[in-house]
Structure 1
Amino acid sequence: MQPATAAYSIRHFRESDFPALGAFYNQTAEGRRVTFWWVGEPENWPNVYCAFEGDKMIAKGQVDVFSIMPAAADASNKHRIFFNLKTLPERENDAELMNAMYETLKARALEIRNNLPDTHGTLLCFGNYVEEAANTDYFAARPEFSPLKRQYRMCHEFADRRSPNAAEPAEANGSSKADAFPLPQGYTWREFDALNSEQADEYLALDMEIWPVTPIGAERLAEIVSRPAWRMLQICDGDGSPAASLMYWVSDGETGEIEEVLTRAVHRRRGLASALLNRALHEIRNLGCADAELDVEVRNEDALKVYRAAGFEVVTEEHRYGAEL
């Protein structure tokens, strides 16, 4: 049975809750940036919990596996399960409600943890933008949570919004991208609009090489690949091996989300990341987006220089915390 008081009850999300969810989102996100997870498909709803007062949604939370450590990963690395918990603005300081929701989400996270490989420990994590001070303070004040990292959210706004049905110059289409976006000698472009199992395995190995502490994992990769207008751009060296890579997809038909921007160490400082960004921005604009956004660690000065040179500006900062689960 889910927690309940005389004032409210907590239960799984249902199909009939979409109108209440829309009203809840509008009130929660009005006039500020919030890290608000959408509920996803019905198969994800066992991970989504909502608190109701009558027919009014007053809180929503959900959990999701963020990364699963491969068996070969260093034993000090940990699986990561993230949770996202939001209340109506007027209930942000309602400690009873926050605690009831958090304990419900933690219980679900423990169930998920028990199905992860037992080769590594697990962290329960959350991340909030700086605008969400009350929400962050509630969890940061708990002794089990410690800071993990800080990252900027950066945005590139397009001067004019291109219609997705507008004709594109021939030199920027398909196989002619090499001419429209030249690369240093010895490098070539490669594009993916889907990944087969072999290609996914190759990318997971590349990702593990760049980010051994927080690899993307097969489940999260598959989820990202399924998002609207997903595409992966890669730059390959003379042997055909990926030297640099990024992915993008479109959120709400408005924003191009750029993720997983990486360059292998031996290929850095050759302009490859800039080439990837320039091409991705061109393609995202041609999809009719108003802007493009990405995340970067606050301490990553080299990446910040590249992103600023490509026209990105910092719009907010996200703080992430974790606790042993």
Structure 2
Amino acid sequence: MPHHSANSDIPKEDVMPMQPHTSVYSIRPFEESDFPALGVFYNQAAEGRRVTFWWVGEPDNWTNVYCAFEDGKMIAKGQVDVFSTMPPTAKPSSQHRIFFNLKMLPERETDTELLGAMYDVLHARALELKALLPDTHGTLLGFGNYAEEAANTGFFTARPEFSPLKRQYRMCHTFADRHLLDAVEHVETVEPVENEAAASAFPLPDGYAWREFDALSGEQADDYLALDMEIWPETPIGADRLADLASRSGWRMLQIHADGTAAASLMYWVSDGETGEIEEVLTLSKHRRRGLASALLNRALHEIRSRGCADAELDVEALNEDALRVYRAAGFEIETEEQRYAVEL
């Protein structure tokens, strides 16, 4: 599944006062028979606005998904997931990270009773997940919302235990806004570019070569985890999160190698059949300022467009000015801001 400062980021006039709502509802784990209700709930919760909404995943994940029902109608859905597990070699200051996602029907977003009851269930499940993590590091429990979700965010930031974690922007590249990627107007393909074609369509500086992966062996996954740890030692992706991303529709990893080892990398996948999701854009420090990130983005955008996607999206930390410049140059624009908060678990 990558925030912000505290309540000062949310205009007070945008946060509706929380009102208790007494009702008869039940909260239980998600079941297969709940899919029709989930579809209705999603359409109502996301209609006309941008929200962070996690899908329930495969059946083995449903123990992490809880739904509230009232008169047979789904009125709230919550989910917990381990986002990163610190290896024993990680810095002592690093922490495991568990995130939760809690969504309500729009008319129930200020229902403090229901919000509190759902959070209590998610918090209890998070403690169970924490018990399964290595005891070498502490654990944070966090959540992330887009800026538009002021009421949901306000419920948690009003609780003194939650603190700002970070801010990031959601950026979007809409292909309809451009005729074609300038560098590859002559390339007409509906398949991802392979190594030989990439060398001519997307030239690299001397000493660099393309590599692409549509699946990862155990050894290749270990190599990537080591690379990721070098770039983000405080928040490594972890084996479980990497496996989750690699299982998604249309997943692919593009890398640029120097002397047989990765110098820069990104991965992408296709969401809902229409949006390319770009993740984990990274370049080792000694290979920066050589255009590698731009080359990765241009090739990824071309391949995503060739898959029939209408646009591509990615996340970037709000304070990462270098990355923002690269993404803007590639045609990305800021769509919204995501706010992340966390509490010691």
Counterpart of 1:142 in structure 2 is 159
Distance 1:153 1:133 in 2: 16
Q: Verify: 1:90 aligned to 2:107, yes or no.
A: yes
Distance 1:283 1:228 in 2: 14
- The Cα shift of 1:161 comes to 9.9
Counterpart of 1:219 in structure 2 is 240
Q: Verify: 1:126 aligned to 2:143, yes or no.
A: yes
**Residue in structure 1 matching 2:222, options 201, 205, 211:** 201
- The Cα shift of 1:240 comes to 1.1
Map 1:1-325 onto structure 2 (within 5 A).
7-159=24-176, 168=189, 172-237=193-258, 239-325=259-345
Q: State the percentage of identical aligned residues.
A: 75
Q: Give the SS at the match of 1:52.
A: strand
Q: Which has the higher contact order (CA 8 A, sep 6+)?
A: 2
Distance 1:302 1:147 in 2: 23
Residues 287 and 143 of structure 1, relative CA distance in 2, 3 Å threshold: same
Distance 1:298 1:93 in 2: 28
- The Cα shift of 1:172 comes to 4.8
- The Cα shift of 1:174 comes to 4.7
Distance 1:173 1:70 in 2: 34
Distance 1:231 1:170 in 2: 12
Q: Give the SS at the match of 1:248.
A: strand
Distance 2:285 2:204 in 1: 17
Distance 1:304 1:211 in 2: 18
Residues 161 and 37 of structure 1, relative CA distance in 2, 3 Å threshold: farther
Q: Report the number of matched residues.
A: 317
Distance 1:58 1:306 in 2: 41
Residues 125 and 172 of structure 1, relative CA distance in 2, 3 Å threshold: closer
* Conserved 8 A contact 1:161-1:285: no
Q: RMSD between aligned alpha carbons?
A: 1.7
Uncovered stretches (5+) of structure 1, i.e. residues with no partner: none
Counterpart residue identity of residue 87, structure 2: P
Deviations 1:114-164 (CA, angstroms, capped at 9, x unpaired):
0000000000000000000000010111111100100000000012799xx
Q: Give the SS at the match of 1:31.
A: coil
Distance 2:126 2:194 in 1: 45
Distance 1:170 1:282 in 2: 10
- The Cα shift of 1:175 comes to 2.3
Uncovered stretches (5+) of structure 2, i.e. residues with no partner: 1-21, 181-186
* Conserved 8 A contact 2:192-2:306: no
Q: Give the SS at the match of 2:35.
A: helix
Distance 2:277 2:190 in 1: 24
TM-score (structure 1 length as normaliser): 0.95
Residues 269 and 118 of structure 1, relative CA distance in 2, 3 Å threshold: same
Residues 186 and 60 of structure 1, relative CA distance in 2, 3 Å threshold: same
Distance 1:65 1:171 in 2: 31
Counterpart residue identity of residue 122, structure 1: T
Residues 172 and 125 of structure 1, relative CA distance in 2, 3 Å threshold: closer
Q: Which runs of 4 or more aligned residues in structure 1 lie more than 3 Å from their structure 2 counterparts after TM superposition?
A: 169-174
